[in-house]
Amino acid sequence: MSVGHQPQPASSDADRDLVSRIASGDRGAETDFVRLFERGVRVLVRRHCRPHDPVVDDLVQDVLSGVLERLRAGAIHDPAALPGYIQSAVVYSTSAEYRRRRPTQSDAAIESMAGGESPSSRFDAAQLAGLLRALLAEMPVERDREILRRFYLEEEDKVSVCRILNIDPGHFHRVMFRARERFRMLLEQAGIQGGTT
């Protein structure tokens, strides 16, 4: 699908100011940079990683420190390019991580990684699984559950899911929206906020 032109991320005066301040050695600007982008970087890294992969924290650090280094060196001249640069760094870091693992780690080693999670990570995973069961229990229509399973676990695309389950594509996003909203509310009720899991 062609989009017609090269996308440009939205920029702001704050970005412009941040880039020049960091390049001039302003340590306070570095703190502002981390405060502004840390959550976004974490959300994207998690999105690009496998579920519960403990490497997320390390990759977030890598991305932020890597971009900061480039900013300190004055290598990023166009402030409008900063979000795009950060996004590219996220994709590069996660790609490199999974590429690095592939030739050196067997499937068994990758599987055993789950057992290497910290107790708190395992607790979080168990808590999320419990919340999910509550969510699923609130979805009385089996078809809704089937949609979630196919979309998130089997990674089937929308067209495939709609065709197999005989769903009007116009209804698809409603079901997904409902699931996400209910899940978000369950998370809030459980006191789980933000991306700190």
Partner 1 sequence: MEWHMTPTTAPSRMAAWLEQAWTVRYLNRGLSGEEVTWFESYVLDKPELLATIESDTRLRDALAAEASARHKDRSVDSDGRQGGAKSAPGIFASGASADLDSPDAQDSPLRSGRGPYKVRESAPPVWLAAAATLVVGLGVGAFVARAFDSGAPAVIASPTRIVYDTMRGPTVPPRVENSSSDSAYVLIEAAVPLGASDVTIELAGQPAQPVSVSADGFATLLVAKKSLLNKLTLHYRLAAAPSSIDLPLPPL
**Whether the Cβ atoms of residue 119 and residue 52 lie closer than 8 Å to each other:** no
Binding mask 121-140 for partner 1 (x = CB under 8 A): ----xx-xx-xxx-xx---x
| 37/149 Cα distance (integer angstroms) | 32
CA distance 76 to 67: 9
| Residue in 25, 99, 104, 116 binding partner 1, rule: CB under 8 A | 99
Q: Minimum CB separation from partner 1 for residue 100, in Å?
A: 11
Alpha-carbon span 180 to 191, nearest angstrom: 16
Comparing CA positions, the residue from 37, 30, 31 lying closest to residue 12 is: 37
Closest approach, Cβ 128 to partner 1, in A, equals 4
Do 74 and 36 meet the contact criterion of CB atoms below 8 Å apart? Answer: no
| Count of other CB atoms within 10 angstroms of residue 32 | 16
Q: Can residue 187 be called a binding residue for partner 1 (CB under 8 A)?
A: yes
| Count, residues near partner 1 per rule CB under 8 A | 86
**Binder to partner 1 among 19, 37, 62, 64 (CB under 8 A)?**
37
Of the residues 41, 64, 71, 147, which one makes contact with partner 1 according to CB under 8 A: 41
Taking CB under 8 A as the rule, does residue 71 contact partner 1? no
Which member of 32, 87, 165, 167 binds partner 1 (CB under 8 A)? 87
